[in-house]
Structure 1
Amino acid sequence: MIIHPGFVGIDVSKPMLDVFDAAIGRSECIDNTSAPIAALVARWRSKDVFVLFEATGSYDRLLRDALTEAGIRFARVNPARARDFARSAGFLAKTDAIDARMLAAMAQCLAPEPQAAANPVREQLARAHKRRDQLVYARQKERTRRSECVDPDIAADIDDHLDWLDHKIVAWDREIDRLIQQSEELAQAARRLRSMPGFGPVATTTLLALMPELGTLSPKAAAAIAGLAPFNIDSGQFRGSRRIKGGRKRVRDALYMAALAAARCNSRFRAFYRSLRAAGKPAKVAIIAVARKLLITANAILRDKSAYQR
C-alpha cells in the first residue's frame, strides 16, 4: 500500500516510540521521553501532518502534550480497531515497525476525526476519578477477604486497611469536587447532570471525566460511545438478537446504576421500564434501554444548557 506524505503512524510502548513518517518512507525508533519527542515534533511544525497512534493509557501522554502544544493534528485509535484494520489491509506480520506503518496507512484510508485539544482541568479530573475507582476496587477486594478471614490478626490488619481506604476515598471525593468547582463550565455541567433522575455524585463525575464530548454529540453517537447502542446481527433470513458491544465500559457501568435508581424512583423512567417489560423485554435489556434514554437526555440538557425538566 502506497502511503502519501503527510501521514504518520506511531506505535507507542512504555520505553519507546516506533515512528513511520510517510514523507521519508521509513521507520525510526526513539525513546518515549520529553527531549526526543520534542525533537521529532519540531520536524513537523511547518508541515501539514496527521499523526495516528493507539490509545495506550498514560504511555502516550508526553506525545499528546507535544503534539497539542505544536498544533499538529492527531488521533488516538482503539487498539482492537487498529488490529481489525491491519488484518483487512493485509498487515499479517506484527512488529512495532510494521504497526507504525499500518497506523499511517489507517490514517490515510479512514481519515479519523482529529482529537480536540485537551482541557487540563478535565485531564486532572479524569486522573482523580481513575484513582478513586482504583481505591473503591481495592476496598471491594478487602471486604471480600474480610468476610472470609478467620485469623484475628489478619482480620484486624484488614480492618485497618479498610479504614485507610475509606479515608482516602473521601479525600479523593473532596479533590474531585474541588476540581469541578474551580471550572465554571464543569460546575454548571455538574449541576445540570445532578438534576437528572438517578444521577448522584459518582454518575455525574464519571460522565464529566470520561465522556467530555457529552453535549456535542448526536443521540446515536452518544449511545455508541458509551456502548449502549444495540447492533444488528442479521444474515440472509436470519435475524439475531440485538447486542450492545464495545464503548466506554466505566461510563456504561455508571449509567446502568443510574438507570436502576431512575427506574425505581422516577415516574417517567419507571413507566418506560414497565412498558418494555410488558412488551416482553428481559429486565436487563429494559434497564439498558433506560440507561440509553438517560444518556441521550443528559446529552440534550448539556447541549441546551438547561436543567432536566421533571
Structure 2
Amino acid sequence: MSANEVETFVGIDVSKNTLDIRIEPASESLQVAYDDPGVKEVCHRLVKAAPALIVVEATGGLETRLASTLLAKGLPVAVVNPRQTRDFAKATGELAKTDRIDAAVLCRFAQAIRPAVRPFKDAETRELDELVSRRHQLVENRVQETLRLGTAASRMLQKSLKSHIIWLDKQITTLDDDLNTRLRNSDAWKAKDDLLRGIPGVGPVTSVTMTAKCPELGQLNRQRIAKLVGVAPLANDSGKHRGKRFVWGGRADVRAALYMATVSAIRCNPTIKAFADRLKGTGKPAKVVIVACMRKLLTIMNAMVKNNTPWQPENA
C-alpha cells in the first residue's frame, strides 16, 4: 500500500437475523439479513472494498458461519471478545447500545486496536470443534443429573435420573469413539495426537480439545500461546507498588482441559512433578503452583508440535 492510500476497516455486528456493517473511512453503514443471500452480499461488498481488517464479536457461535465464509474469501477477520469491545466503547464515551452503534464501535476498535486475524479453520476442524463442545455439554449434563440423583427422594425421580444418566453415558461413549476415529483417520491430526498423547498426563480428551479448539498450538511462541489460552501471569504494578500477578481471559474450554491434564501430570509426569515440587518448596501457594505447571505443560506441548519432536523427559 502506498503512503497516499487509506486503509479500510470494517465492523460487523452479528445477531440471529441480521448483520449490521460499518465501513470506514467511507462512513458507510448497511444492514442485511443473516442468511445465505445476505452473507453472499456482504462477501461481495467487502471483497471489492479490500479492507485491512474486519472485526466481528464472538457471539456464542452465531459469528462462525460469517467469519468462516469471509476467511474462505481471503479476507482478514478478527473475532474478538465482547468484553473488550464493550470496555473500548465505554472508554471512548459511547454508552448507548444498538446494533448499528455496535457495528461502528467494532469498526473503530479495528482501527485503533488492530487485533490479530483469526486463523482459518477448515470444515473438518470446525466440525471437530463442534463435537468437542457437544461432548463438554453432555458431560456437564451428566454431572448435574448425578448431583440431582444424590438428593432425589422418590423412586420415580431416581428411576428417571438413572435412565437419563445411562443415556448420557452412551452418548458420551459414542462421541468419544467418533472423535478418536476422526483423529486417527487424518494424517495431520494423527501426528499431533500421537505427539500430545506421548506426554505423561495428557489423555485423549485433552489431545482432541487442543487439536480442535487451539489450532494455533505449535504456531506461536511460548509467550503468545500462554496468553492465548489464559495461563500467562499479568502484571498489576503502579509506581512503586508491585501487585500480585494473575491470569485472566483466554480460552476457558482449552484451559479446563489443560487443568485436568496438569493435575494428572503432577502425579505421573516426572518433569511436571519435579517442577511442582520445586515451586512448593519455595512456599508458592497451591493455585500458583497449578497455574505455573499448566503453563509449563502448555509450553512443552507447543514446542513438541512446533518441532515435531516426541516426548523426551530430558529435554522437557
TM-score (norm 2): 0.93
Q: Which whole-Å CA distance do the structure 2 matches of 1:189 and 1:30 have between them?
A: 41
Question: Is contact 2:56–2:67 with CA below 8 Å preserved after alignment?
Answer: no
The answer on 1:62 being equivalent to 2:52 is: no
Q: Which whole-Å CA distance do the structure 2 matches of 1:272 and 1:72 have between them?
A: 43
Task: Tell me which moved more, 249-258 or 290-299.
Answer: 249-258
Secondary structure of the 1:247 match is coil
Question: Is contact 1:223–1:229 with CA below 8 Å preserved after alignment?
Answer: yes
Q: Which whole-Å CA distance do the structure 2 matches of 1:5 and 1:87 have between them?
A: 25
| One-letter amino acid of the structure 1 residue matched with residue 255 of structure 2 | R
Q: CA deviation at 1:226?
A: 1.2
| One-letter amino acid of the structure 2 residue matched with residue 99 of structure 1 | D
Q: CA deviation at 1:290?
A: 0.9
| One-letter amino acid of the structure 2 residue matched with residue 229 of structure 1 | A
Task: Tell me which moved more, 298-307 or 15-24.
Answer: 15-24
Q: Which whole-Å CA distance do the structure 1 matches of 2:207 and 2:294 have between them?
A: 13
Q: CA deviation at 1:24?
A: 4.1
1:1-310 equivalences in 2 (<5 Å): 6-22=8-24, 24-49=26-51, 50-310=53-313
Listed as ranges, the gaps of 5+ residues in structure 2 are 1-5
| Identity between Structure 1 and Structure 2 (%) | 36
Secondary structure of the 1:257 match is helix
Q: CA deviation at 1:297?
A: 0.3
Secondary structure of the 2:32 match is strand
**Structure 1 vs Structure 2 CA RMSD:** 1.5
Secondary structure of the 2:46 match is coil
| One-letter amino acid of the structure 1 residue matched with residue 108 of structure 2 | A
What's 2:3 paired with?
none
Q: Deviations over 1:258-306 (max 9, x none)?
A: 1111111222221111111110101221111111100000000000001
Task: Tell me which moved more, 234-243 or 20-29.
Answer: 20-29
Q: Which whole-Å CA distance do the structure 2 matches of 1:216 and 1:52 have between them?
A: 22
Q: CA deviation at 1:236?
A: 2.1
Change (3 A) 1:20 1:126: same
Listed as ranges, the gaps of 5+ residues in structure 1 are none
| One-letter amino acid of the structure 2 residue matched with residue 199 of structure 1 | V
Q: Which whole-Å CA distance do the structure 2 matches of 1:149 and 1:286 have between them?
A: 38
Task: Tell me which moved more, 78-87 or 112-121.
Answer: 112-121
| One-letter amino acid of the structure 1 residue matched with residue 133 of structure 2 | K
Secondary structure of the 2:78 match is strand
Q: Which whole-Å CA distance do the structure 2 matches of 1:74 and 1:195 have between them?
A: 34
| One-letter amino acid of the structure 1 residue matched with residue 312 of structure 2 | Q
| One-letter amino acid of the structure 1 residue matched with residue 15 of structure 2 | S
Q: Which whole-Å CA distance do the structure 2 matches of 1:129 and 1:117 have between them?
A: 18
Q: Deviations over 1:125-182 (max 9, x none)?
A: 1000000000000000000011111101110111111110000000000111122123
Q: CA deviation at 1:66?
A: 2.6
TM-score (norm 1): 0.95
Q: Which whole-Å CA distance do the structure 2 matches of 1:189 and 1:281 have between them?
A: 33
Q: Which whole-Å CA distance do the structure 2 matches of 1:26 and 1:189 have between them?
A: 45
Secondary structure of the 2:219 match is coil
| One-letter amino acid of the structure 2 residue matched with residue 38 of structure 1 | K
